[in-house]
């Protein structure tokens, strides 16, 4: 019993370590100086003569976020831009979400407000977009996700760089949560942090613009929302039923006996117990199928190791039960000693040992 509790504690500590481990992204843009350092380092600082590239301060405020599928995220909110008067006339206004998908929840952007300031024009848009993004679910249900808003300027014929309007937020320090509605509802998630970041992508096309030879692809502004999954829901939905199945397996194993009187008292027969194992197998299989349907196209996720382990346990209990009437090889007959006392005592320690090994190896 003590060994089982110790191994269960190892699993729990490993889960807690992974669930709570979070380090702020080192590449986030915290201050305007960080933005300038990045542009200088990458050679994108605008010339003093006012020629390209042009800088457009851009900010984001998220009002709602929801996962529609494992790869589709529905996001609504506001995005604003400040256009200085010294920018060229005719420069397009607006923002493009290149990862948005069309459909019932396709992209919808409309002007929400417009304001003239001292030497600039401020424009804000309300957006409603469905984003198609790839997420890693290997560690489900003890995982973190980063949802990002990838922002482009609509004028492909001009070299325009969107820069984060960091001055519009109370704090953009590492680990801070900004640009998100405080009353946002996130089913099953908690926000760890938000941050701006530049990413440079290489494309094998110039999108028909036919830029001058040697022109570099401009950095793309990302607004990132780092999410931590709330463990309770998947634990209740998936793990509690699996633990109940394991407990039932142990109860069935305890009825296995070579003593005729005990067998009558327990109602034990090899056929009935193997039939019960078959029923548990199909019950677990249905839950496993429902889980796989959520992650079609992905590899094995962490929680599936529980299902695979239970398949092995069901098979071993069925084989051990069958061996009580058909015997075991000479070298394994000690397993039947005292009605299989060794097997029954080893059930929980071996089960939790397997869970501990999987957790330590996985994470």
pLDDT in tens, 236-294: 888 999 999 999 999 888 887 766 666 666 666 777 888 889 999 999 999 999 999 88
Q: Which domain holds residue 317?
A: 2-14+232-362
For residues 240 and 164, state if they share a domain: no
Q: Is 220 inside any structural domain? A: yes
Query: Quick one: what percent of the chain has pLDDT higher than 70?
Result: 85
Residue 213 above 50 pLDDT?
no
Q: Is 24 inside any structural domain? A: no
Length of the chain: 363
For residues 104 and 175, state if they share a domain: yes
**Beta-carbon count within 10 A of 138 CB:** 13
For residues 252 and 192, state if they share a domain: no
For residues 157 and 187, state if they share a domain: yes
For residues 307 and 295, state if they share a domain: yes
Count of domains forming the chain = 2
Q: Is 214 inside any structural domain? A: yes
For residues 248 and 345, state if they share a domain: yes
Read off the pLDDT band of 216 (50, 70, 90): low
Of 206, 229, 252, the residue that ends a domain is 229
For residues 171 and 312, state if they share a domain: no
What is this structure's pTM? 0.83
* Burial category of 248 from C-beta neighbours within 10 Å (exposed 0-12, middle 13-18, buried 19 and up): middle
**Average of per-residue pLDDT across 125-137:** 92
Of 189, 205, 229, the residue that ends a domain is 229
Strand order in the sheet with 144-151: 144-151, 220-229, 189-199
Residue 128 above 70 pLDDT?
yes
* DSSP E strand boundaries for the chain: 54-69, 72-84, 108-117, 120-132, 144-151, 160-164, 189-199, 220-229
In angstroms, rounded to a whole number, what is the distance separating the alpha carbons of residues 165 and 36? 13
Of 229, 248, 281, the residue that ends a domain is 229
Residue 104 above 60 pLDDT?
no
For residues 245 and 347, state if they share a domain: yes
Cα 104 to Cα 93, 130, 131, 332: the distances in Å are: 26, 9, 12, 63
For residues 176 and 272, state if they share a domain: no
Chain segment 38-97, per-residue pLDDT in tens: 988 888 776 655 567 889 999 999 999 999 988 999 999 999 999 998 888 888 899 999
């Amino acid at each position: 019993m003590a060994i089982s509790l110790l191994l269960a504690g190892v699993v729990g500590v490993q889960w807690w370590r992974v669930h709570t481990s979070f380090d702020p992204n080192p590449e986030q843009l915290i201050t305007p100086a960080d933005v300038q350092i990045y542009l200088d380092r990458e050679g994108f600082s605008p010339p003093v003569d006012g020629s390209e590239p042009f800088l457009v301060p851009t900010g984001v405020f998220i009002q709602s976020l929801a996962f529609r599928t494992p790869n589709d995220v529905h996001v609504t909110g506001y995005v604003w831009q400040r256009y200085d008067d010294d920018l060229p006339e005719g420069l397009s206004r607006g923002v493009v979400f290149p990862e948005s998908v069309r459909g019932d929840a396709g992209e919808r952007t409309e002007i929400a407000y417009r304001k003239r300031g001292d030497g600039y024009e401020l424009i804000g848009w309300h957006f409603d977009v469905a984003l198609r993004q790839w997420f890693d679910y290997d560690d489900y249900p003890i995982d973190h996700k980063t949802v990002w808003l990838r922002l482009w300027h609509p004028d492909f014929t001009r070299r325009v760089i969107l820069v984060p309007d960091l001055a519009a937020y109370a704090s953009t320090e590492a680990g801070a949560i900004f640009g998100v509605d405080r009353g946002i509802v996130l089913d099953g998630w908690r926000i760890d942090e938000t941050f701006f970041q530049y990413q440079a992508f290489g494309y094998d096309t110039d999108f028909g613009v036919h830029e001058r030879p040697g022109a570099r692809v401009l950095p793309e502004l990302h607004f990132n929302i780092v999410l931590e999954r709330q463990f309770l829901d998947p634990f209740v939905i998936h793990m509690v039923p699996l633990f109940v199945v394991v407990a039932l397996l142990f109860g069935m194993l305890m009825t296995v006996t070579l003593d005729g009187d005990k067998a009558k008292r327990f109602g034990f027969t090899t056929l009935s117990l193997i039939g019960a194992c078959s029923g548990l197998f199909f019950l677990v299989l249905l839950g496993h199928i429902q889980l796989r349907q959520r992650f079609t196209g992905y590899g094995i996720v962490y929680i599936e190791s529980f299902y695979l382990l239970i398949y092995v346990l069901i098979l071993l209990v069925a084989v051990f039960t069958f061996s009580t009437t058909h015997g075991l090889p000479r070298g394994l007959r000690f397993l039947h000693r005292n009605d299989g006392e060794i097997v029954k005592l080893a059930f929980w320690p071996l089960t939790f040992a397997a869970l501990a090994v999987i957790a330590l190896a996985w994470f």
